[in-house]
Structure 1
Amino acid sequence: MDAVPDSAGSEPTADDPAQAERIERFWERATAQASEWGAARHAADLGTPAAWSFGDSPDLADDLVALVLRGDKTATASAAWEYEVDDEPLPAPGDLSIVLDGSGEPQALIRTTEVTVVPFDAVSTDHAHREGEGDKSLAYWRAEHERCWRGTLAATPYEFDTTMPVVCERFEVLYPK
């Protein structure tokens, strides 16, 4: 089954100390490999990065993190309005994140390498391909992201529009390698 867009990622709940401990242990293992990251080494002094999963369901989170670990997924996209609604900053190059699977287990440490904000209808074929989902085509990307954002934006003051701002993010896997 083809995966659907990953824009509606979720974060672990703060009231799960066991999960927080697993994330912290993962971070400790990852930072032990910091000499391989180059400039990201200083991040070990900044505290544990945000941990979240791609997608809006456990099955989708599993599918998408598997694409990341295989190297098929090196990009993601989200509706810029979601950051505004959640009062969160846009991602920036150099940001680190711990990607969780569908059961909340940490699977990958990624570093954002590039962020651009473009209208939905200006997302490139290259970006769609880098997301690694479905047949990797722009047509697939547009259909699935429109479907997803029509649903997720329904709970916000915004609604899907082909000119809406989309945050296109590229990333690299730092751990495991």
Structure 2
Amino acid sequence: MDLIADLKRKYPGAWAWAFGDSPEMADELADLVVKGIKTASCCSLASFNTDDAAPGPGSYHIILNGQGAPVCVIRMVSLRLVRFSEVTETFARKEGEGDLSLAYWRAEHQAFFTREGVFAEDMELVAEEFRVVEVV
């Protein structure tokens, strides 16, 4: 039985993807989502614009672990543009990573976006907030 296909039937139009840029990061961040600690994420506007059908509020997403297996389904509740330099402590806390501080968020996300090749203090991010609708 293909669990991803079953979930896509249950949530038509759902995207299946993993957080981060490594299997280890995907596992760690998916675990934070399942535990309810991570309720937000962000991506560069550049990477968001490369998707043919960018997700909007109300869209469903099947979150995969580092091995490509589904762990939960989330529903996007808001998306907004924000500059890297204007991310708040509140948003950093909703991302649920590390010690939940803005300093940790900035350091880790600067490293991530540098690996992606797009980092700049004034870069635009798509800030996404979501809620878990099903744990698999």
TM-score by length of 2: 0.91
1:95-114 superposed matches below 5 A: 95-114=59-78
Q: What is the percent sequence identity of the aligned residues?
A: 38
Q: 2:41 aligns with which of 70, 73, 76?
A: 76
Please identify which structure carries the higher helix content: 1
- Offset of 1:151 from its aligned partner? 1.2
1:129-168 superposed matches below 5 A: 129-153=93-117, 159-168=118-127
Give distance in 1, aligned partners of 2:60 and 2:130.
9
Structure 1 counterpart of 2:4, one-letter code: I
Unmatched tracts of structure 1, length 5 or more = 1-17, 32-43, 154-158
Please identify which structure carries the higher strand content: 2
1:38-53 superposed matches below 5 A: 44=11, 47-53=12-18
TM-score by length of 1: 0.71
Task: Find the residue that maps to 1:72 and give its secondary structure.
Answer: coil
Larger radius of gyration: 1
Unmatched tracts of structure 2, length 5 or more = none
- Offset of 1:108 from its aligned partner? 0.6
Misfit runs of 4+, over 4 Å: none
- Deviation string, structure 1 residues 101-146 (Cα, Å, up to 9, x no partner): 1111111110000111011101111110000000010111011111
Task: Find the residue that maps to 1:149 and give its secondary structure.
Answer: helix
Measured on the aligned residues, the alpha-carbon RMSD in Å equals 1.8
Give distance in 2, aligned partners of 1:53 and 1:87.
15
